[in-house]
């Protein structure tokens, strides 16, 4: 009896097995979907839980809501019941920019900004336009102080941390995320600052004016967030808010250290 039929049957079986095996490869992204779970409480922390590429570090633009070129900014995880120290960009990998007036701006690769998903045009009255909202979502200093030290190394900032503000690029009163590392940077003092006087940055005044304009219906939330993430020194003009008087700093709602 010829053995050809037997070999034909063996070949057919091998082909079926090959197809079945190829169809069983797992999705490499599935194992990362639980990044929002326990982020750890070590001093170095972990990457922000903002998407499947969060492990690349906070300077990655591949996280959830990353800037796609349309002016949008990333969306952060939002307020947490318990905050943990977040991983910062590697030391020396971030570079400050400065305006012609020598005002500091962050590195857009390291600090593109990130928004609080709880703050939307429909929730303004119960979030940023409600007194005391930002105080209730602000991370504690035992978290932010450690992040500040690590972020100073990211930017190569070597002057006194007492005079630098660990700043939310999109402030809490503008719907910025409370503890996404993409929204926080060690902001050097502005020109004319007196050494040892502590943070006193004009960006805080801009933030308050934008917030007041949003809550009075004179400015769009998303446009204001995009404008201040791009350049806080031009944010008022970008959304059509007049800068003809000195603003006032709203203690509980202004971003401090």
* Cα gap 98→187, rounded to integer Å: 11
Q: Using 50, 70 and 90 to split pLDDT, how confident is the model at 70?
A: low
Q: What is the DSSP letter of 185?
A: E
Check residue 200 and give its pLDDT: 77
* Cα gap 93→32, rounded to integer Å: 25
Strands 184-187 and 165-168: antiparallel
Q: What share of the chain is helix, strand, coil (3-state, %, to 5)?
A: 35, 5, 60
| Phi and psi torsions of 113, nearest 5° | 95, 160
Structure tokens at 157: 């900032």
Q: Give the dihedral of Cα atoms 34, 37, 41, 46; nearest 10 deg.
A: 30
Q: Using 50, 70 and 90 to split pLDDT, how confident is the model at 141?
A: very high
* Cα gap 234→228, rounded to integer Å: 8
- Name the more confident of 212 and 57: 212
pTM of structure: 0.71
| Complete DSSP assignment for 64-110 | TT---SSS---B-----SS--PBP-PPTT----EE-TT--EE--TTT
Q: Is the pLDDT of residue 50 over 60?
A: no
Per-residue pLDDT tens digits for 183-210: 999 999 999 888 887 787 899 999 999 9
| 138 in Cβ contact with 178 (< 8 Å) | yes
């Amino acid at each position: 009896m010829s053995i050809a039929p037997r070999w034909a049957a063996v070949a057919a079986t091998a082909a079926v097995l090959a197809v079945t095996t190829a169809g069983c490869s797992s999705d490499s992204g599935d194992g990362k979907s639980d990044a929002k779970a326990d982020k750890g409480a070590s001093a170095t922390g972990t990457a922000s839980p903002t998407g499947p590429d969060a492990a690349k570090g906070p300077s990655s633009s591949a996280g959830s809501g990353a800037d796609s070129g349309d002016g949008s900014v990333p969306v952060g995880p939002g307020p947490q019941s318990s905050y943990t120290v977040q991983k910062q960009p590697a030391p020396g990998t971030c570079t400050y920019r400065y305006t012609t007036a020598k005002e500091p701006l962050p590195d857009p690769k390291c600090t593109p900004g990130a928004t609080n998903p709880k703050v939307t045009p429909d929730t303004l009255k119960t979030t940023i336009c409600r007194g005391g909202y930002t105080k209730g979502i602000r991370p504690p200093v035992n978290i932010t102080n450690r992040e500040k030290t690590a972020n100073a190394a990211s930017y190569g900032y070597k002057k006194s941390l007492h005079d630098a503000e660990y700043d939310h690029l999109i402030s809490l009163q503008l719907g910025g995320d409370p503890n996404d590392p993409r929204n926080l940077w060690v902001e050097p003092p502005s020109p004319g600052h007196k050494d040892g006087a502590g943070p006193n940055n004009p960006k805080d005044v801009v933030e308050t004016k934008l917030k007041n304009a949003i809550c009075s219906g004179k400015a769009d939330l998303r446009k204001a967030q995009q404008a201040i993430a791009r350049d806080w020194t031009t944010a008022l003009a970008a959304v059509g808010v007049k800068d003809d008087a000195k603003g006032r700093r709203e203690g509980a709602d202004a971003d401090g250290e």
